[in-house]
Amino acid sequence: MIINPYVFGAAFDPDAQAFITAAGLTDNTQKTAINTLVLDMKGYGIWTKMKAIYPFVGGTATTHKFNLKNPADTNAAFRLVFFGGWTHTTNGAQGNGTNSYADSFFIPSTQYAVIDNAALSVYSRTNIIEGRCEIGCFNGTNSALQINVATTAFPPQNTGTYMNNVTESKFADTDSRGFYITSRTGTTVTMFENSTLKVTQTTSALARPNVKIYVGAQNLAGFANIPSSKQLAFASIMDGLTNTEAANFYTAVQAFQTTLARQV
């Protein structure tokens, strides 16, 4: 018989417990979901690739700001600072699409060692077609790192990504709900919608943007541009993922969302 040690009060994974303590989580379902998420990512071998993980659990701006990978309340730990109109609930964090954004303090040009190894993700619970950006940055000249989910910017409705370049990788998308993962490894850019590989494009990396990544909007050379009105239930910044790692990442995150009864 397999016994779950957590039923009997055994300690959570230390990384999960550090986040639980920092965020002040008291709900047992939320704590278990975080612990399982950490264990799943470690089991899949992708935990070490994570730079910042925003699980948006707990229902408040205070709990939503913490980076699961390093839950210190500092800029250097890449915790979020929310600006503008946000609504925080147990289902996630939702901007107003007008002046909302969250500063991650993560600058790709200094935090990534090379130009051709990077990835982003965002989990959207809102089905809306809008010309907005859910996570990213653009230095204003020749390099961007971002995800635009079901945007009207380039009809027909597309979900697109820029990965340290100015050439958009995109696919037709008329439903903006789901988990979107974009990755660059070498000259290959991929994009997943949930567990499905939607885009594979060969394109050279130009540079790493030298401005901070925003969540819920694009950081356009220091200006919060095209803010999103979608409810976000997860976001992350990480090193590039293989296709297998991206699919496993979806499995882990979807299980996390399902435990919290907010999966789409």
The pLDDT tens digits of the residues spanning 26-61 come to: 999 999 999 999 999 999 999 999 999 999 999 999
Distance CA 25, CA 19 (A): 8
Of residues 90 and 143, which shows the higher confidence score?
90
Quick check: 3 pLDDT over 50? no
The pLDDT tens digits of the residues spanning 157-201 come to: 678 888 887 778 888 888 999 999 999 999 999 999 999 999 999
- In this structure, which topology does domain 5-259 adopt according to CATH? Jelly Rolls (2.60.120)
Of residues 130 and 68, which shows the higher confidence score?
68
Rounded to 5 degrees, what are φ and ψ at 193?
-110, 110
The pLDDT tens digits of the residues spanning 126-136 come to: 999 888 999 99
Collapsing DSSP to helix, strand or coil, 78 comes out as coil
Quick check: 119 pLDDT over 60? yes
The pLDDT tens digits of the residues spanning 88-109 come to: 999 999 999 999 999 999 999 9
Can you give the residue ranges of every domain in the chain? Answer: 5-259
Rounded to 5 degrees, what are φ and ψ at 108?
-55, -35
The pLDDT tens digits of the residues spanning 214-261 come to: 999 999 999 999 999 999 999 999 999 999 999 999 999 999 999 999
Parallel/antiparallel/unpaired status of strands 188-193 and 196-202: antiparallel
Share of the chain above pLDDT 90, in %: 79
Report pLDDT for 157: 60
Report pLDDT for 6: 45
Is the CB of residue 217 less than 8 Å from the CB of residue 112?
Answer: no
Q: Where do we find the tokens 């948006």?
A: 56
Cα distances (angstroms) measured from residue 186 to each of 115, 143, 165, 196, 199? 8, 16, 12, 21, 15
Q: At what angle do helices 14-23 and 28-43 cross, to 10 degrees?
A: 140
Vertex 65: Cα angle to 246 and 196 (nearest 5): 15
Distance CA 133, CA 220 (A): 11
Please choose, from the candidates 5, 16, 34, 25, the residue with its C-alpha nearest in 3D space to the C-alpha of residue 256.
Answer: 34
